[in-house]
């Protein structure tokens, strides 16, 4: 294993989080009635749901995507009726990205389906382990925000 200079505990946590994210992704159930989205479109949709009113430029910067890739993903989501463009009230040349009601409804179904296996895994932990996860939730949320802003 390559040593990148990070402390052993940091490397171990990073590896565990990588493995955990892979297991969550792998165990996510097929959702009947919803056509699966490629990972990029799914991530774009999540950002638009979390930050309605983003521009494509802001979205690309936030996600670390090329502008053309962000535009292509938005176009695909718009064709599927999941994202709309609205003119900015301050500058009509700027389009703001907004999730549709269909996107919000699908997001609820997807979030519930993805969370199910995670909740089941947490329930298999002992009380002390669940408490440790609860205590770490603030740090994990901060890590998530740091990863998002890194681009």
Burial pattern 90-111, b for ≥16 Cβ within 10 A else e, equals eeeeebbbebbeebeebbeebe
pLDDT average, residue stretch 43-51 = 91
Position with higher pLDDT, 131 vs 37: 131
Q: State residue 57's pLDDT score.
A: 93
- Alpha carbon 63 to chain centroid, angstroms: 10
Q: Is the pLDDT of residue 38 over 90?
A: no
Per-residue pLDDT reduced to its tens digit, 19-31: 888 877 776 656 5
Per-residue pLDDT reduced to its tens digit, 76-128: 999 999 999 998 888 888 899 999 999 999 888 878 877 888 898 999 999 99
Q: Is the pLDDT of residue 42 over 90?
A: no
Long-range CB contacts (within 8 A, 24+) of 20-25: 24/114, 24/117, 24/118
Q: Is the pLDDT of residue 70 over 60?
A: yes
Q: Is the pLDDT of residue 1 over 70?
A: no
Q: Is the pLDDT of residue 149 over 70?
A: no
Q: State residue 151's pLDDT score.
A: 46
């Amino acid at each position: 294993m390559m040593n990148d200079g990070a402390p052993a505990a940091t490397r171990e946590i990073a590896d565990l989080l990588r493995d955990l994210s892979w297991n969550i992704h792998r165990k996510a159930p097929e959702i009947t009635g919803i056509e699966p989205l490629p990972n990029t479109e799914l991530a774009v949709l999540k950002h638009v749901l979390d930050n309605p009113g983003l521009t494509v430029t802001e979205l690309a910067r936030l996600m670390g995507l090329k502008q053309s890739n962000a535009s292509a993903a938005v176009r695909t989501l718009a064709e599927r009726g999941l994202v709309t463009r609205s003119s900015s009230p301050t500058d009509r040349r700027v389009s703001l990205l907004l999730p549709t009601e269909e996107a919000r409804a699908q997001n609820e179904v997807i979030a519930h389906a993805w969370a199910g296996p995670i909740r089941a895994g947490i329930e298999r932990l002992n009380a002390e382990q669940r408490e440790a996860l609860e205590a770490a939730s603030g740090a994990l949320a901060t890590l998530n925000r740091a990863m998002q802003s890194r681009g």
